[in-house]
Structure 1
Amino acid sequence: MASHRKSRPSGTRVAGIRTPALATAALTSVALLSQTANAAPSADDKPSLEEVEKKVDDLYRQAESATDKYNAAQEKTAKQRKRVDTLLDDVAQRTQSLNEAREELGSFAAAQYRTGASAPDTATFLLADSPQDYFDQTQLMGRLTNRQKGAVDDYVTEQSETMKKRQEATESLQTLTKSQGELKTAKATVQTKLADARALLSQLTAEEKARLAAIERKKQQEAAAKAAELARQQAAEQKAREEAAAAQQETDSGSSSSSSSTTTDSSTATDASYATKAEKALAFARAQIGKPYVWGATGPESYDCSGLTQAAWKAAGVDIPRVTYDQVKAGTTVSVSAAQPGDLVFFYDDISHVGLYIGNGMMIHAPKPGAYVREESIFYDGESSIHSVVRPA
């Protein structure tokens, strides 16, 4: 007798579910596609030279930003260490004074005991939390001379001040420890960014490095053209100002008002004073050309960007802060077109780079690790990279 059971459909079982042959083929195709997608990238997936250049530039900028944080942490640590040393010296001196006052009080207590002027336990006041309270309680203050009372007052005051200074020293030591931790973190960040940039560059072939150099030269040519255009613009504006001043002088015919004359003389004197200082700052900066960029360096053998500008203006007798985001606040902001030699030119939204303007759209700066102090267009990384221009004196 023939069996009435239906034949099973062909196919395989997936996770306990029967699948027809067509579904099996589809699943196989999906698996193959997935394997292809997860396979190692081909040579065509290698980043372009332009992408490598942008990544390296970004890493250098991040390193420079981290350098400023390192510089700030280093400065903070140095100040805090100086404060801690001062406080510890003060505590040592106060402790010595406290010991001397304690010895003097001990001699008074011994004298009181020998003369029978107080109870035998008079000397225990030295162990009390407050000698003043002890003397009040035993009414010993009424039997002390003015000199002895003064010694008690001095002891109580010195004890209070010493405890206060010890607390300040403890808190300052804690702050110093925190600052040292920040310094260590900032340093590690800089080193990591620089290592990543060097690793990317080391992977380039000789041909790629040559092409990268060609790209850099083209950028420099474009930046130089923009600098020349700014120089022409500034020259035209200067000529217009001189012609306007000459016309005004003719109109006044030597009889200008006192207030107008005073304002003009004051403005001229201010410009001349700034120009004199700027000339000294620029002379110093020019003497540093060719020295290497080293992160965190302030000279005299090497510099980072803000270390160079700080040293240049210090040579002119003007103290400006150490890091870029403090230097940008140390003066008067002017437009790019109004920039004068000696002005500080800041770059990028995070104000992570600075150079010293020398005129004609050019500056002296310490560019980045692996480079040297040099003259370069302020448009070296495009016009949009300029954050602001500040006149520091």
Structure 2
Amino acid sequence: MGSGKRGLLTAALTVICAVTVLSAPGTAFAAPAPTPTPTPTTTAGGTPTPAPDKDLQEVRDRLDKLYHDAAVATDAYNAAEEKAKKQSAEIVALAEKIVQGQQRLDKLKNQAGAAARDQYRTGGLSSTAQFLLSDDPGRFLDGAGRVLQGQQAATKLMSEMARTQKELRRYADDAADRWEKLDANRKAKAAAKKKIRKQIDAAEKLESRLEKKEKERLAQLEREAAEKAQTAWLDTGVLKDIDGKASAQGKKAVKYATAQLGKPYVWGAEGPDSFDCSGLTSQAWAAAGHPVPRTSQEQWKQLRRVDVEDMRPGDLVIYFDDASHVGMYIGDGSIVHAPRPGRTVTIAGAGSMPILGVVRPDA
């Protein structure tokens, strides 16, 4: 085997073997910066008293910010993961083309070698010389057509060899380009993972400093805020106009999503035991036979948008200005969604968070 062939085959096999390594996420984490927390006061007996609602509200705002930033980073992680999967598949396909192209080139070289050997056996004489020296010119003339055909075949053979070599160079260049992009996405995944872990660790550390009664009151404040937002949304009369009926696929998506109630939120997860927000919605629609983009931001960008008043069960409700959260509308002014770390898949009011818009996967 020639050095050129060994090089291409080695490169192709290296690409196939290394793709899974590059697509693995990074593992480096940064220690979260210290976060100030409310300092409980103490009674005359020395017993800590819960922080006032004002302080707890500041804690809630801080937690919301941390978990929101984690959600944004999770979307970035998921997007990089999707790109890495696609690029890995493309690299493997290119590697297979390189191997197949090299095999075809070897075959063409063997054919060219056979033609050269045949020419050697005839002494390398021109067709004119062979005619003049032939003992049987008539027989030579009978074969002249075959000689011409052979010359045409040789020209075609050399042209095909050149084209195959050009294809191999293009495949190699494409593989190198996709390799660089895959490596860049690996680094993007590592950076996103680092940020996610930092935000979640900071949030968990902040919550761990609260007394039991403070945690209970904090949860109550969260419920009250969600109920207030939902009530304000319903008071607009929007529910009177929402009467869309779910499509057959929409019903299947809702059935899948609601079957996941109680399963924990885990960033980057898409089932079957845990989910993040877009992992739940994308898997629900995949189960319904209609795949959608993996991230909430891409769902917002790529799927058809509909007015809130026109939404129907199965539609996806996108939240916050940066499309960092998504839930699935299930009817009666409610959604099913995976809220955030530390929470489980649950049903909530569709208006309990700031709505950016609504998209319909099966438009």
Fold conserved between structures, TM > 0.5: yes
Report the counterpart of residue 239 of structure 2 in structure 1: 234
Quote how far apart the aligned CAs of 1:174 are.
1.6
1:90 is matched by which residue type in structure 2? Answer: K
Quote how far apart the aligned CAs of 1:315 are.
2.5
Report the counterpart of residue 124 of structure 2 in structure 1: 117
Mapping for residues 219-368 of structure 1, pairs under 5 Å = 219-226=225-232, 229=235, 233-235=238-240, 237=241, 274-368=246-340
- Which deviations, in whole Å up to 9, do the C-alpha atoms of 1:122-161 show, x marking residues without a partner? xxxxxxxxxxxxxxxxxxx999633333322221221222
2:69 is matched by which residue type in structure 1? Answer: Q
Quote how far apart the aligned CAs of 1:44 are.
9.5
Quote how far apart the aligned CAs of 1:203 are.
1.9
Greater Cα shift, 188-197 or 83-92: 188-197
The two structures have a TM-score, normalised by structure 2, of 0.73
Structure 2 distance, partners of 1:367, 1:377, is: 12
Structure 2 gap ranges (5+): 1-36, 42-50, 127-146
- From 206, 215, 221, the equivalent of 1:215 is 221
| Equivalenced residues, count | 295
Quote how far apart the aligned CAs of 1:94 are.
0.5
Identity %: 36
Structure 2 distance, partners of 1:143, 1:215, is: 89
> Secondary structure of 2:335's partner?
strand
**Is 1:97 aligned to 2:104, yes or no?**
yes
Asked whether the equivalents of residues 227 and 361 of structure 1 are also in contact (C-alpha less than 8 Å), the reply is no
Asked whether the equivalents of residues 330 and 392 of structure 1 are also in contact (C-alpha less than 8 Å), the reply is no
- Which deviations, in whole Å up to 9, do the C-alpha atoms of 1:103-128 show, x marking residues without a partner? 22223223333433179xxxxxxxxx
> Secondary structure of 1:355's partner?
strand
Asked whether the equivalents of residues 313 and 331 of structure 2 are also in contact (C-alpha less than 8 Å), the reply is yes
Cα distance change of structure 1 residues 155 and 42 upon mapping to structure 2, 3 Å threshold: closer
Structure 1 distance, partners of 2:250, 2:156, is: 60
Structure 1 gap ranges (5+): 1-40, 120-140, 240-270
Structure 1 distance, partners of 2:150, 2:248, is: 70
- From 329, 347, 351, the equivalent of 1:375 is 347
Asked whether the equivalents of residues 242 and 311 of structure 2 are also in contact (C-alpha less than 8 Å), the reply is no
Mapping for residues 197-212 of structure 1, pairs under 5 Å = 197-212=203-218
Asked whether the equivalents of residues 66 and 186 of structure 1 are also in contact (C-alpha less than 8 Å), the reply is yes
Cα RMSD of the aligned pairs, angstroms, is 2.9
- Which deviations, in whole Å up to 9, do the C-alpha atoms of 1:215-237 show, x marking residues without a partner? 1232244245346546x6533x4
- Which deviations, in whole Å up to 9, do the C-alpha atoms of 1:25-64 show, x marking residues without a partner? xxxxxxxxxxxxxxxx996999922212111111101101
1:310 is matched by which residue type in structure 2? Answer: S
- From 45, 51, 76, the equivalent of 2:83 is 76
The two structures have a TM-score, normalised by structure 1, of 0.68
2:239 is matched by which residue type in structure 1? Answer: Q
**Is 1:151 aligned to 2:123, yes or no?**
no
- Which deviations, in whole Å up to 9, do the C-alpha atoms of 1:324-357 show, x marking residues without a partner? 1111134443333443222211111110001111
Structure 2 distance, partners of 1:43, 1:362, is: 37
Report the counterpart of residue 66 of structure 1 in structure 2: 73
Structure 2 distance, partners of 1:337, 1:144, is: 75
Quote how far apart the aligned CAs of 1:374 are.
0.5
Higher relative CO (Cα under 8 Å, sequence separation at least 6) belongs to 2
Quote how far apart the aligned CAs of 1:85 are.
0.2
**Is 1:107 aligned to 2:123, yes or no?**
no
**Is 1:192 aligned to 2:164, yes or no?**
no
Cα distance change of structure 1 residues 285 and 154 upon mapping to structure 2, 3 Å threshold: same
Asked whether the equivalents of residues 278 and 341 of structure 1 are also in contact (C-alpha less than 8 Å), the reply is yes
Structure 2 distance, partners of 1:93, 1:334, is: 48
More helix as a share of residues: 1
Q: Which has the larger radius of gyration?
A: 1
Greater Cα shift, 59-68 or 44-53: 44-53
Structure 2 distance, partners of 1:43, 1:71, is: 37
Asked whether the equivalents of residues 227 and 360 of structure 1 are also in contact (C-alpha less than 8 Å), the reply is no
